[in-house]
Amino acid sequence: QVQLVESGGGLVKPGGSLKLSCAASGFTFSDYFMSWFRQAPGKGLEWVSYIGGGGATINYADSVKGRFTISRDNAKNSLFLQMNSLRAEDTAVYYCARDDSTGYSPHWGQGTLVSVSS
């Protein structure tokens, strides 16, 4: 079965950096688009970024463009999110998800909490 396990969250100061990882199993990783979503405490869901199976197709939400970088290592079945210049408003649970071919996300990890605070 599809499993997605995020890691790398934690407490970081404003302006700092953090790299999230998502370990995937139970499917042919390179065949699928993958996405990152986030949810601020007590708030709704926000799409952050997606990446195509080969890594060539990438898109970002305006709120993170220029600060976050999505990448993947298909040999290691892993998805990454490098987050730089972090702000308080980036505080959220970050979820990785496997996308369907049309673009919705039927499989989600359990999330990792990122807290940005001095």
Q: Which positions touch another protein (CB under 8 A)?
A: 35, 44-47, 50, 59, 61-62, 95, 100, 102-106, 108-111
Residue 48 CB, nearest approach to another protein (Å): 9
Contact 2, 107 (CB under 8 A): yes
Q: Are strands 10-12 and 112-116 parallel, antiparallel or unpaired?
A: parallel
Which is nearer to another protein, 15 or 89 (by Cβ)?
89
Which is nearer to another protein, 46 or 69 (by Cβ)?
46
Q: In sequence order, what are the residues at sequence separation of 6 or more whose Cβ sits closer than 8 angstroms to the Cβ of residue 65?
A: none
Residue 15 CB, nearest approach to another protein (Å): 25
Rounded Cα–Cα distance for residues 87 and 63 (Å): 11
Residue 107 CB, nearest approach to another protein (Å): 9
